[in-house]
Structure 1
């Protein structure tokens, strides 16, 4: 089989199969071998790995992972790509094709048999319009993910990797860092795809934390993060009033008790400080909706 990352091969396949790109699925196929290699190396996939791939396109990444011995479960929503993928996967019994919506597929049902048997990983070229919900579906699924390697819009990757104090640092940064350590592997220019998207992309790798930072209530933790960043120009104290459970004086006293200045803005707080704040509020109020 010719290299599936070749632009000429991709054009041949889509022309022979009468395939039309669908804007609603954010379809852009990678044609840069150098970037493909960086994705594969970031996954560290081998014969002891099972990889969940979301959005396989014509199968470029899945095939290369399979060549390294990994078991690959490729989830594709577009029915018109299924016969193309079936043909391109013919020589690789270690690739399992699933026709379905990645936001609805039960990852645990698919991968639970491999727990304790193989290293469980994710590799995905995420459609930009569902990047955030897909990231959290993966992170919140109760599986021992070892790593998650994602192609996404450069702007989103930069937000996830941002440090406290910067304009890119926000609720998404804190939430992802709660689950693992993100690293921006490489920036990807738009011309690395066919057809070319209007924005540049990036490959992001998240190594999952073996031990998460301690919070007494995870749901409360995420609620506080969302509330604190709700209006970025407001102070932490004023934003937290929107929780609706403590008045200004009570909140001010609570913040002083944990040495956090209420006049700070949320973007200046570290994840450790958000955990400290969560636990302090929990100690007073317990779990609340």
Structure 2
């Protein structure tokens, strides 16, 4: 118990009180206080002295405290400018940590890696994401072409279930397929709402995304693939043919779309939630060929 009290996670309330900091609901601030969960997050990646870590939203440094002991270099991106003096004070003696003020959705990660982590053999992202930016940030990190090996994130349990979902389930959707196109997704641990200050209204989950060197499906038009996927899930109860007609009605007639789906071997009466990523990729291949000819 004494060891836990000496950690930042064990002193969260005291540190906030001493710094006279009130938490901002607009930033979705919930600080993790459970050192066992922190250990699970850090151990999800085989970090070494040659590893670089980008931590998004360090808060007051509960997770950072473990990362600086495990990784060669750590960069914390903090949106709340009020927390930076606290972080600089808490980590004044650590030479392998840098903190920058910034919005994780707007940061140039290529430049950040060049400036802070250029000598690292491998680079990873670890984050406790505010719920309101979860999906946009996941998309940004995955599609940006950044040289990340892994992204370990603590997110709302419902969103985590969407990332890991299988076809024929309610959670399965466009975010599922987007994540699975760029990465393999695995559960790390469940996180109770009771281990945060302040306590959020829902439980969280830590998931690990290991970025793929090559997508699991081939496509000549990635933009078209995701356009088809988004259309299929925009109104989940629509059949695939009707959903795609709503999206492509300016480019093809309903009869043409029906013919294209037949060529792809996919029944247009199916719904998007029943299709695998490979089946969507096959539809995109046929549509790309037909649209070029029209």
TM-score, scaled relative to structure 1: 0.95
In structure 2, which of residues 279, 286, 293 is the aligned counterpart of residue 280 of structure 1? 286
For 1:118, the equivalent position in structure 2 comes to 121
**SS of the counterpart of 2:6?**
coil
2:106 to 104, 113, 131: 104
What is the correspondence of 1:1-289 to structure 2 with a 5 Å cutoff?
A: 2-6=6-10, 9-112=11-114, 114=117, 117-212=120-215, 213-242=217-246, 243-244=248-249, 245-286=251-292
Query: Do the aligned partners of 1:76 and 1:82 also contact (CA within 8 Å) in 2?
Result: yes
SS of the residue aligned with 1:226? helix
Distance 2:114 2:231 in 1: 35
Displacement over 6 Å in runs of 4+? none
**Secondary structure of 1:43's aligned partner:** coil
Question: How far apart are 1:40 and its partner, in Å?
Answer: 0.4
- Cα displacement (A) at 1:222: 1.2
Q: TM-score, normalised by structure 2?
A: 0.93
State the distance in 2 between where 1:118 and 1:287 align.
46
Deviation at 1:44, TM superposition (A): 2.3
Q: Deviations over 1:77-107 (max 9, x none)?
A: 1011111111112121111101111111111
Change beyond 3 A, Cα 1:116–1:275: farther
* Aligned Cα root-mean-square deviation (Å): 1.7
C-alpha contact 1:234 1:265 (8 A) present in aligned 2? yes
- Return closer, same or farther for 1:80/1:157 CA change in 2, 3 Å cut-off: same
Q: 1:69 to 1:159 in 2, by over 3 A?
A: closer
Asked if structure 2 preserves the Cα contact closer than 8 Å seen for 1:55 and 1:126, the reply is yes
Contact 1:115 1:144 in 2 (8 A): no
Indicate conservation of the 8 Å contact 1:102/1:134, yes or no: yes
Q: Structure 2: give runs of 5+ residues left out of the alignment.
A: none
Provide the rounded CA distance (Å) in 1 between the counterparts of 2:30 and 2:72. Answer: 24
After superposition, the Cα gap between the structure-2 partners of 1:61 and 1:233, relative to the gap in structure 1 and judged at 3 Å, is: same
- Contact (CA 8 Å) 2:260, 2:290: kept in 1 or not? no
Shift of residue 148, structure 1, vs aligned partner:
0.4
Deviation at 1:172, TM superposition (A): 0.6
Q: Secondary structure of the equivalent of 1:276?
A: helix
The runs of 5 or more residues in structure 1 that have no matched partner are none
Show CA shifts across 1:61-89 (max 9, x none): 12211101331110001011111111112
* CA distance, structure 2, for counterparts of residue 59 and residue 287 of structure 1: 56
